[in-house]
Structure 1
Amino acid sequence: MSVRDKVRSPCVSVCALDENDECIGCQRTVDEITRWSQMSNDERLEVLKKVAEREQRVAL
């Protein structure tokens, strides 16, 4: 798989953790951020689904 085919990181270069240890920029957990480079595309897509759910929660 080429680099072009990999699911891109949702990082927006606003790196700070909230009280739940989730990044306020990309909404990923510390574990998700740390493991991102070793994840398969399927795992990354699952993380992005969780990120979308967290974004909805924060928006409320």
Structure 2
Amino acid sequence: KSDAAWRTAATGSNVSSANTPGEVDMAKDIENPCISVCQLSGDLCVSCGRTKDDIRKWKRMKRPEKMAAVQRAAQRMKSLQKKSG
């Protein structure tokens, strides 16, 4: 997929019916780490730290999954900053 397609997947507004309304509402309060400057290096976006898989699944993730994805992304970004700085 193109960077634009991944960005659309990351920021789209459709929510899977697999989540119940309460789960969707609770998951919405987890802020998406996407900064709309997708720069993919392999399977990793070096702008937000998420993997292509995390980006693709974001809309369908429940709150605990989103929290874990955000934590993993933050760790990756820290690691990338150490390497470049």
> Aligned pairs, how many?
59
TM-score by length of 2: 0.61
> Can you give the 5+ residue segments of structure 1 that lack an aligned partner in the other structure?
none
Matched residue, 2:58 = 36
Decide which structure has the larger Cα Rg and report it: 2
What CA RMSD, in Å, does the superposition of the two structures yield over aligned residues?
Answer: 1.8
CA distance in 2, matches of 1:18, 1:25: 10
TM-score by length of 1: 0.84
> Can you give the 5+ residue segments of structure 2 that lack an aligned partner in the other structure?
1-21
CA distance in 2, matches of 1:14, 1:26: 8
More helix by share: 2
More strand by share: 2
Greater RCO, CA 8 A, separation 6+: 2
Q: Which one of the candidate residues 24, 34, 49 is aligned to 1:11?
A: 34
